[in-house]
Chains A and B, each alone.
Chain A
């Protein structure tokens, strides 16, 4: 029974841990997509591509 009780602790901390990490990863994803938006890159790529063509 003590192993079962320990397993409940693993379940609790495990689910808490995985949601915490998920939220952190979510924030990171929001941040990097905000800090490095595709629009700006596309504009640069557009400029660069003409240079490449030369």
Chain B
């Protein structure tokens, strides 16, 4: 009987906070499977959240009889996320997935990508009013990059203790782009503005230009924000593999096997940061709210920038301000949302190419914004 009670004795170590984390984990799995919200990350993270919140879970580091036993998830975190290797390898895959042709065909779209990073810096300032240090505020603000790997990269660089909450917020809101953006856009635009037709006369793009692009971007980013050169460099390396046309098998591997493998490990590894004692705090709720603010103000920043540009453009060259909202990095979701909004307002108004160009520029701009945060803050 004593053996039996000792076998189940661990049950008594369960706390209500752990049970709440199981519910949160279960909810993430549900959202991933039923609602198809970023399933590649929410399902591993949800499962991981349950795994690390079991009493005396062997998946994470435990101190038993004064001896520290490193858990496999903490080992993976140290080996893959603390040194940023997982993120950089994932960026190679992402770079190989992106076709920059719509941006090269209409380079002026890059400005919208820049404008739509406003939410990051606005949220950074707002977070400091809630008592976050500048480093933690930057880690929270970067949720607005709408780019999971960049968010993890910055938060991890500043050794933020809110990493778990930041990752959950970043990926959840990326999945919620179709819900967050439309009402915000409607709030800051008129129906007439949303119905603006844009002519699309792209210049054709040569293979040489596509090859030179990632190389030159890396050089510029490295010169301006050297701390971000790894981030930009790995992204552009992936893109070079795609664009060069002689490394198709490597490009396919980067887009498929490599990206999948890293995503698989990334989701469950970041869950090691979701232990109840660290995660169930008022600060987590605050970070989730601030993440939402970042997404909203990114959208507002992009749209308002387009509206300001319209003040100076002739009538036939007016920009549909909705495309400014695609400057967030959530690719291709944001472009899809804006295209659908455009069609809803006027079934003959097809904005897909312009929206895609802006959305791709947001991918670059978000990484540069992350790099600027890494460069600027230590200099203050």
A-to-B contact residues, CB < 8 Å: 3-4, 6-11, 13-15, 17-26, 28-30, 32-33, 35-41
Interfacial chain A residues near B125, Cβ < 8 Å: 4, 7-8, 10-11
Name which residue of chain A comes closest to B213, CB basis. A32
Q: Which of these, A9, A19, A28, contacts B216 with CB under 8 Å?
A: A28
For residue A30, give the distance in angstroms from its CB to the closest CB of chain B.
5
Interfacial chain B residues near A33, Cβ < 8 Å: 104-105, 107, 203, 205-206, 209
Name which residue of chain B comes closest to A17, CB basis. B372
CB of B288 closer than 8 Å to a CB of A? no
The stretch from B68-76, B115-123, B146-154, B262-270 touching chain A is B115-123
- On chain B, the number of residues with a Cβ less than 8 Å from chain A's Cβ atoms is 49
Q: A-B pairs with CB below 8 Å: how many?
A: 128
Pair B368/A29 contact, Cβ less than 8 Å? no
For residue B379, give the distance in angstroms from its CB to the closest CB of chain A.
9
Pair A14/B107 contact, Cβ less than 8 Å? no
In the bound assembly, the distance between CA atoms of A35 and B206 in angstroms comes to 10
Question: Which of B114, B120, B217, B225: most chain A Cβ within 10 A?
Answer: B114
Can you identify 26 A-B contacts, CB atoms within 8 angstroms? Answer: A4-B125, A6-B134, A7-B124, A7-B134, A7-B137, A10-B134, A13-B376, A14-B124, A14-B372, A15-B114, A15-B117, A15-B118, A17-B225, A17-B368, A18-B365, A20-B224, A21-B225, A26-B110, A28-B220, A30-B107, A33-B105, A38-B206, A39-B204, A40-B206, A41-B206, A41-B207
Pair B111/A14 contact, Cβ less than 8 Å? no
CB of B133 closer than 8 Å to a CB of A? yes
Pair B372/A18 contact, Cβ less than 8 Å? yes
Q: Which of these, B105, B110, B212, contacts A25 with CB under 8 Å?
A: B110
In the bound assembly, the distance between CA atoms of A8 and B137 in angstroms comes to 12
Question: Which of B110, B124, B127, B220: most chain A Cβ within 10 A?
Answer: B110
Provide the main secondary structure of the chain A interface.
helix
Name which residue of chain B comes closest to A25, CB basis. B110
Pair B209/A32 contact, Cβ less than 8 Å? yes
Counting from the closest, the 3 A-B pairs by CB-CB distance are: A29-B107, A38-B204, A22-B114
Interfacial chain B residues near A29, Cβ < 8 Å: 103-104, 107, 110, 209, 213
In the bound assembly, the distance between CA atoms of A50 and B169 in angstroms comes to 55
Q: A22-B113, A29-B104 are in contact. Are A38 and B124 (CB under 8 A)?
A: no
B-to-A contact residues, CB < 8 Å: 103-105, 107-108, 110-111, 113-115, 117-118, 120-122, 124-125, 127-129, 133-134, 137-138, 203-209, 212-213, 216-217, 220-221, 224-225, 361, 364-365, 368-369, 372-373, 376-377, 380
Pair B220/A26 contact, Cβ less than 8 Å? no
Pair A3/B134 contact, Cβ less than 8 Å? yes
Q: Which of these, A11, A17, A26, A38, contacts B111 with CB under 8 Å?
A: A26
In the bound assembly, the distance between CA atoms of A26 and B127 in angstroms comes to 32
Q: A22-B110, A29-B104, A32-B213 are in contact. Are A6 and B369 (CB under 8 A)?
A: no
Q: A26-B110, A33-B205 are in contact. Are A10 and B129 (CB under 8 A)?
A: no
Question: Which of A6, A21, A24, A36: most chain B Cβ within 10 A?
Answer: A21
Interfacial chain A residues near B369, Cβ < 8 Å: 14, 18
Interfacial chain B residues near A9, Cβ < 8 Å: 380
Interfacial chain B residues near A30, Cβ < 8 Å: 107
Interfacial chain B residues near A41, Cβ < 8 Å: 206-208
In the bound assembly, the distance between CA atoms of A8 and B368 in angstroms comes to 18
Pair A14/B209 contact, Cβ less than 8 Å? no
